[in-house]
Chains A and B, each alone.
Chain A
Amino acid sequence: MAVDKAEKTKYSQASSREKWGWRSIPLGGVITEAGSAELYQTGDWRSQRPVWHADRCTNCMLCWVYCPDASIKVENGKVVGIDYYHCKGCGVCSAECPVKPEKAITMIDEAEAGKEG
């Protein structure tokens, strides 16, 4: 469930950047690096969490196609998990998942997920 170790390192650097004060922000709020949106933890907006069940997944990639935040992690043409750092929990992946009788992606409450750690 958790962000992997390499991601954790990257994001802890990002979170230390979030402490920039007014003297160190680029003038006028200009962003001087390309692709910095990746560092923005939109995952903390989430109230519903998608849970991916590897045993049921057929790798049809519909979730990957529909995800508006590129948060379905794919390696070698196969789904390997969900990027919780960026996933906002919109639920479109679960809604579009065609696997029956039980979907390969199901939604749970974040509060519930928090209890599981």
Chain B
Amino acid sequence: MATRTALTGNYAVARAMKQIKPDVVAAYPITPQTDVVEEFSQFVADGLVPTEFVPCESEHSAMSTCIGAAAAGARVMTATSSQGLALMWEMLYIASGYRLPIVMALANRALSGPINIHCDHSDGMGARDSGWIQIYCKNQQEAYDTMLQAVRIAEHPDVLTPVMVCYDGFVVSHAMASVELLDDDQAAAFVGTYTPKYPLLDTKHPVTYGPLVLFDYYHEMKRQQVEGILSAPPVIEEVGRQFGDVSGRYYGLVEPYRLDDAEVAVVALGSAASTCEVVVDELRDAGVAAGSLRVRAFQPFPRDLVAKHLDGKKAVAVMDRAESFGARGGPLCTLVEASLYRAGKNVPVVNYIYGLGGRDTTTKDIHSVYDRIIGIARGGEVGQHYQYLSVRGGDGNGRN
């Protein structure tokens, strides 16, 4: 029997880790992820999990420890946020390049400077090209559920690629919600056991990790690596289906909301997508054909699916909670637009940068976005493509 209980996103993630019983967890505390490691280390201290817990002196060391342990053949997990992920940067590429199926919880937080501890996606987006799979969760329940799924996705023999389970700092990490947990046995059966491909501890079959690979093989290695991450979408879908059969909660690559007959749509990642759903309901009640699309599996980007869902819409707004300095478009928007272009779909798209550094994004803000695309859908000018949502102007009169 599943248990329903009140948990913050971080505690829900820690409970998932307790049920997964990884062989090794190496981590360093950083707000807003700290509770994950704090709670998990308590489970270790209480003898509730057999995990080897390594409290490291930095996130660079934590990821290095994860890489060593994973190469040895262990099932490995960690958690971080913001500067912590930034400090892991060079090691992230090594984890993915060596095809080590490490699972990381990432409580999304803004990057310095100036220093800020609150939510945006600049940490995750900074690592989006590091070869890790990235799944953005909308709430506490999904963060818990996705941790269990991530192990299966990362360790799938066609994939063997590390996974970041991303959830909004504070909004999800610290807010308490009603979360349904699988039984320990159920979770263990779902996650299954792990058989590493080249474990260093298998001394009968010695291998070398990390040899120098120059111009004669590096090119082929990267081609091989991309095959792993591009093999992930059907695995993410299958694991999401199987998880649904166990829990009743089904997951895919994207989550469309009242989108089929919608004329306008907003595309977003994470918790803001839930706010969009509330606004869609309000607009539908007012007779407006509005919908929304949440991208759950951001890396690898579900290009064809996004294009299919947005095909025929009269206007689309893409919400980015990270800046891509100089690109005149956030990372999500540029991928959405590239998806539409590749599919030959000419859908008017506008881009909003929202919620940086934890700026609250309310239904009122989202309504202003829908008002804009409804205007475009009714024949109005598309106007400025890229802008900041609800940003104060410099003249003290709220002019942007």
Q: Please indicate which of the listed interface residues A22, A28, A31 has the most CB atoms of chain B within 10 Å of its own CB.
A: A28
Q: Per-residue CB proximity of A79-103 to B under 8 Å, as 1/0?
A: 0000000000000000000000000
> In the complex, what distance in Å separates the CA atom of A23 from the CA atom of B197?
16
Complex Cα distance, B210 from A27, in Å, reads 12
Taking a contact as CB atoms under 8 Å apart, the answer to whether A27 and B198 are in contact is: yes
| B97 CB within 8 Å of chain A | yes
Return chain A residues, CB-CB under 8 Å to B98.
Answer: 28-30
How far does the Cβ of A34 sit from chain B's closest Cβ, in whole Å?
A: 6
Binds A, one of B215-223, B235-243, B325-333, B334-342: B215-223
A21 within 8 Å of B by Cβ? Answer: yes
B310 at the interface (CB under 8 A from A): no
Q: Are B99 and A22 in contact (CB under 8 A)?
A: no
In the assembled complex, how far is the CB of residue B151 from the closest CB belonging to chain A, in whole angstroms?
18
B399 within 8 A of A: no
**Least Cβ distance of B100 to chain A in Å?**
7
A25 within 8 A of B: yes
CA gap between A21 and B205 in the complex, in Å? 23
Report Cα–Cα, A112/B208, bound state, in Å.
38
**A-B CB pair tally, cutoff 8 Å:** 49
Q: Is the CB of B213 within 8 A of A29?
A: yes
**Assembled-state Cα–Cα distance A48/B213 (Å):** 25
Question: Is B194's CB within 8 Å of the partner chain A?
Answer: no
Q: Is the CB of B205 within 8 A of A32?
A: yes
- Report yes or no: B211 in contact with A29, Cβ–Cβ below 8 A: yes
A22-B223, A22-B227 known; A29 vs B217 contact (CB < 8 Å): yes
Contact of A26 with B by CB under 8 A: yes
CB contact under 8 A between A25 and B224, given known A18-B216, A30-B198, A32-B198? yes
Q: For A31, list chain B residues within 8 Å (CB).
A: 207-208, 211
In whole Å, how far is A68's beta carbon from the nearest beta carbon of chain B? 17
* B-contact 0/1 string along A6-40, CB 8 Å cutoff: 00000000000010111101111111101000000
- Beta-carbon contact of B207 and A21 below 8 Å: no
**Is the CB–CB distance between A29 and B221 below 8 Å?**
yes
A25 to B198, CA, bound (A): 13
A25 to chain B: closest CB distance in Å? 6
Partner of B99, one of A21, A28, A34: A28
* Residues 179-205 (chain B) with a chain A CB within 8 angstroms: 197-198, 205
In the bound complex, CA of A28 to CA of B210 (Å) = 9
Contact A25 B208 (CB under 8 A): no
Beta-carbon contacts under 8 Å, A44-88 to B: none
* Complex contact B220–A25 (CB within 8 A): yes
> What residues on A are CB-neighbors of B99 within 8 Å?
27-28
Q: Which of A18, A27, A32, A34 touches B224 (beta carbons < 8 Å)?
A: A27
Q: Which of B160, B206, B223 contacts A34 (CB 8 A)?
A: B206
When C-beta atoms are compared, the residue in chain B nearest to A31 turns out to be: B208
- Give the nearest-CB partner of B222 in chain A: A22
Residues from 338 to 388 in B contacting A, C-beta threshold 8 Å: none
CB-based contact A30/B207 at 8 Å: yes
* Closest Cβ–Cβ distance, residue A18 to chain B (whole Å): 6
Question: Which B residues lie within 8 Å of A22 (CB)?
Answer: 220-221, 223-224, 227
- Given known pairs A21-B220, A22-B223, A22-B227, the reply for A28 and B211 (CB within 8 Å) is no
Among A20, A23, A31, A32, the one with the most B-chain Cβ atoms within 10 Å of its Cβ is A31
Which residues from chain B contact A26 at a C-beta distance below 8 Å?
198, 207
Q: How far is the CA of A30 from the CA of B97 in the complex (A)?
A: 10
Closest residue on chain A to residue B228 by CB atoms: A27
Is the beta-carbon distance between B208 and A30 smaller than 8 angstroms?
yes
- Contacting pair B207 A32 (CB below 8 A): yes
Q: How far is the CA of A27 from the CA of B213 in the complex (A)?
A: 13
* Closest Cβ neighbor of B224 among chain A residues: A22
Residues from chain B with Cβ under 8 Å of A27 in the complex: 99, 160, 197-198, 224
A88 CB to nearest chain B CB (Å)? 15
Among residues of A, the one whose C-beta sits closest to the C-beta of B96 is A28
- Nearest CB to that of B218 among chain A residues? A29
The one of B97, B160, B197, B227 that contacts A29, using a Cβ cutoff of 8 Å: B97
Q: Is the CB of B207 within 8 A of A25?
A: no
A30/B205 contact (C-beta < 8 A), A21-B220, A25-B220 known = no
* Smallest CB separation, A35 vs chain B (Å): 10
Can you list 26 contacts pairing A with B, beta carbon distance less than 8 Å?
A18-B216, A20-B217, A20-B220, A22-B221, A22-B224, A22-B227, A25-B221, A26-B198, A27-B99, A27-B160, A27-B197, A27-B198, A28-B198, A28-B209, A28-B221, A28-B225, A29-B210, A29-B213, A29-B217, A29-B221, A30-B207, A30-B209, A31-B207, A31-B208, A32-B207, A34-B206
Can you name 10 extra interface pairs (CB under 8 A) apart from A25-B221, A28-B160?
A25-B224, A27-B224, A28-B98, A28-B209, A28-B225, A29-B210, A29-B211, A29-B217, A30-B209, A32-B205
